[in-house]
Chains A and B, each alone.
Chain A
């Protein structure tokens, strides 16, 4: 039990500390693909450091909710990172919240950020909040459908049990998981504000979704939000790994598998980040009202995955 708790804390802390590194890696890959000279891997850390040292500038009419939201968002993302099995599968905290609760944690963070964006009362803030909720009302059920497909296969909504069932039982190819994987990729681009739904590097307010929500934030608040964004990307990558390529995650109680698990995770994350930047480089951002179509497709693919499970795999 005590090793479990230690492992849990270590894994969560590692996620928090390594998350900006993954962001740096994705940015680096993208710069290479775009033929630019890349910023160093540690650039996100430097940005965070800079932001933490600045003075906070807050609008006159900001309410306490505005100042509370970044902490809330960061805490939610840290919690989510702690729930997903990244290295080890033996997590004492995992019974507290299953895959459905994980979706709830993401939703909690999103609602707080959207409310904070509406707090100052600028036109772009409310616009961003509206668009974010528009994207999420389709992305969230789609993500749930992906989890449902996985949990129908493993007869559990507990993430460690799902991973256990998918990674450590005999190897079977599940057609339903193929649909789920496509749906998951579409959802995670939308939820992480990446191309084709949103562009994280845009400077044009009219096309912003996520960035429009955080226009009013500065200094440590902005740093926390940026960090939470990196953490969210990390958590989604870990989720994708846990659901679709779980091999290598250390099974319960097997401490000797840990070094291999760390290595596997690093390699998978590097490959995943490179794939993400490649997909971003070759696709274009869609118009806002095409985004519901994109996500509606993801939602339907998720539902199809479940139906296919009932048709072929039961």
Chain B
């Protein structure tokens, strides 16, 4: 401990994961050893979270690793921002990996070994992204993360849909990566003369003009936005996340999207030393559009994993709105408010890692037990899989932003940040902010709608198909993983004062100020206790005590007789499971109200049809309006470019010659 810095320990953790991934290939014949790899990986995750927690308390530490190209070593650094995201990664990955241990235990050895390799490579890549201190290491890690997750998404590559989803993911990930490369180029270009390296230290020293700073910011927003699923670069997300095996979906939604948020924070607040107010307004607007777009589409999905993927888009939107608000406050010189909204945003990132991880693992348990992802074929699972159901319920309530769970705390902090805005120097922002607060409130209320739909249709009611009959409860390993994630949701909800104190170093690093908690250890009171306070522990205790008192009173004073009967059939005896609301039906009001956002295809049968089939399909309008034209233009251009190919060597020589002449003219000018 004395002679090993924390960043070295973190790097050792990365190496452990790489080693475990490679070991999986070596021991694939020995099933007993192969089964040990997931729990070992989980321990590494917990270790990394602990290292992150220690790094939050201490100082930044850095090392230079002699790997990579000659004269271009890897620089690694563990500061408070990296440490926070390391905790997020380790904490969520621990639960998900425990879950994966059970989830994949019946997987055939060969494919399991490959999966273990990609899984640990993915984790190692994400960790290195957080540790990287030069653009070269960052981009290498970024690509490792993208490629390993591509192979994880296409685990079931025998299905054409999944191959297609994987390709779309790979494409957009690389369009984003190109933007990031350009962004780092711009950042380095403004650096000190003669310093030819791509270290972040050089970039920090750069004196950028507002124009080039804006170019760098916009490239970063585009590049990281493509990874995070920002509208309109979100189209890959609802395809790729559901296609992956559930633990991988949990990691992709819960953790990988956060690496993009990390990158955005790193570039904007750390690497750039000029920040402009309109960046914040732009990020706020984009974030709110993303949040509303995501939640509206989540409400009309029938596939449970696709629903959760859309809900991730919504949460990324909320995070970006928080980021934009922070930038607005920061550039306006309101350091304390910037600290408040940044705290809200980081808190929400941590929360989302836990509850989205929990929901994806819960959905995975259902998928594993029934083989069915379509909610229209599920229902009534609460009676068959009570553990999964109750744990998923915690996740659903948390993501719906209900007290006393964690989703509510970050939403509360964000709304407080909006309410404290009066007094911004730019008055137009003062007018925009109430509308923004209204959009956040609307998105949160719609999230509750989505979660009632998700939980109610999947776990409650009566089974809608035979798939449910053979369902079984998740194994103890899966349950252990889900319990860890659910405990995280509860703990983050009940102890906000402690979490905020732990976040303080990160907030101070980025905004120069910290959020002062005016309350005691159980009372959360940002800024001032007179202004606003929230004490989840007291709240929880009062609900619990009231609940118990009412329960005891009702059961004591009155008899407890219960008769069981058939449900009331409204005088129509032929009730069956298909008369419940389908997932489609539950989303129908949203589809009707927000029909202008989507392209709805409907097939309604003839009234005399003996075997009627109803089909409704709500699609993303942006796909037609934005992506189809781009694809058409790309196809047209490549068609035209194809004419250059003749297969005749003379022509090709002339091309080379012309290019050479052109370049010579260009260089000598």
Contact = CB atoms under 8 A, between A and B. Distances in A.
Nearest to B435: A303
B543 A118 contact: no
Contacts of B412: 100-101, 104
A121 B567 contact: yes
A157 B534 CA distance: 10
B449 A307 contact: no
Contacts of A71: 547, 550-551, 554
Interface string A91-105: 001011110110011
Interface stretch (B120-128, B154-162, B396-404): B396-404
Contacts of A155: 531
Contacts of B438: 141, 144-145, 299, 302-303, 306
A148 B455 contact: no
Interface residues of B, number: 83
Interface residues of A, number: 78
B88 to A, nearest CB: 24
Contact of B419 (A115, A151, A299, A302): A151
B532 A55 contact: no
A114 B450 CA distance: 12
Nearest to A51: B558
Given A61-B383, A96-B535, A148-B419, A130 B589 contact: yes
A158 B441 contact: no
A3 B614 CA distance: 64
Nearest to A155: B531
Contacts of B538: 93, 96
A199 to B, nearest CB: 18
B364 to A, nearest CB: 21
Given A61-B383, A224-B550, A101 B403 contact: yes
B452 interface: yes
Interface string B354-391: 00000000000000000000000001101100000000
A233 interface: no
B461 A126 contact: yes
Interface in B376-435: 379-380, 382-383, 393, 397, 400-403, 408, 412, 415-416, 418-419, 422, 430-431, 434-435
A115 B579 contact: no
Interface in B571-630: 575, 577, 579-581, 585-586, 588-590, 592-593
Contacts of A148: 418-419, 434, 437
Contact of A157 (B397, B416, B564): B416
A156 B534 CA distance: 12
Contacts of B523: 95-96
A157 B562 contact: no
A275 to B, nearest CB: 27
B561 interface: yes
A274 interface: no
A123 B452 contact: no
A286 to B, nearest CB: 14
A198 to B, nearest CB: 15
Contact of A105 (B403, B430, B451, B569): B403
A53 interface: yes
A138 B539 contact: no
Interface in A102-160: 104-105, 107-108, 110-111, 114-115, 118-124, 126-127, 129-131, 133-134, 136-138, 140-141, 144-145, 148, 151-152, 155-158
Nearest to B451: A111
Contacts of B402: 104, 107-108, 111
A17 to B, nearest CB: 13
B526 to A, nearest CB: 11
A100 to B, nearest CB: 5
A98 B568 contact: no
Given A100-B412, A157-B416, A111 B580 contact: no
Nearest to B538: A96
Contacts of A65: 382, 393, 460
A61 B422 contact: no
B460 A216 contact: no
A60 to B, nearest CB: 5
B543 to A, nearest CB: 5
A121 B422 CA distance: 48
Given A100-B412, A104-B402, A310-B422, A141 B441 contact: yes
A121 B380 contact: yes
Contact of A55 (B401, B422, B430, B561): B561
B531 A97 contact: no
Interface stretch (A25-33, A75-83, A188-196, A260-268): A75-83
Contact of A121 (B397, B442, B577): B577
A265 B224 CA distance: 56
A121 B446 CA distance: 23
Nearest to A154: B531
Contacts of B581: 118, 123, 126-127, 129-130
Contacts of B448: 107, 110-111, 133, 136-137, 140
Best-surrounded residue of B418, B453, B532, B538 (most CB of chain A within 10 A)? B532
B649 interface: no
A276 B441 CA distance: 27
B529 interface: yes
Contacts of B561: 55-56
A107 B580 contact: no
B531 A156 contact: yes
Given A59-B566, A60-B565, A115 B532 contact: no
Interface string B94-106: 0000000000000
B570 interface: yes
A58 interface: yes
Contacts of B559: 53, 55
A184 interface: no
Contacts of B575: 122-123
Ranked 4 nearest A-B pairs via Cβ: A121-B461, A121-B462, A126-B581, A118-B456
28 contacts: A56-B563, A60-B567, A61-B383, A95-B519, A96-B542, A98-B533, A100-B534, A101-B403, A118-B456, A118-B460, A118-B461, A121-B580, A122-B567, A122-B579, A123-B579, A123-B580, A134-B449, A134-B590, A138-B445, A140-B448, A148-B418, A156-B532, A157-B531, A216-B568, A299-B438, A303-B435, A307-B431, A310-B430
Interface of B: 379-380, 382-383, 393, 397, 400-403, 408, 412, 415-416, 418-419, 422, 430-431, 434-435, 437-438, 441-442, 444-446, 448-449, 451-453, 455-457, 460-462, 519, 523, 525, 529-535, 538-539, 542-543, 546-547, 550-551, 554, 557-559, 561-570, 575, 577, 579-581, 585-586, 588-590, 592-593
Interface of A: 52-53, 55-61, 63, 65, 71-72, 74-76, 78-79, 82, 93, 95-98, 100-101, 104-105, 107-108, 110-111, 114-115, 118-124, 126-127, 129-131, 133-134, 136-138, 140-141, 144-145, 148, 151-152, 155-158, 161, 205, 215-216, 220, 224, 289, 292, 299, 302-303, 306-307, 310-311, 314
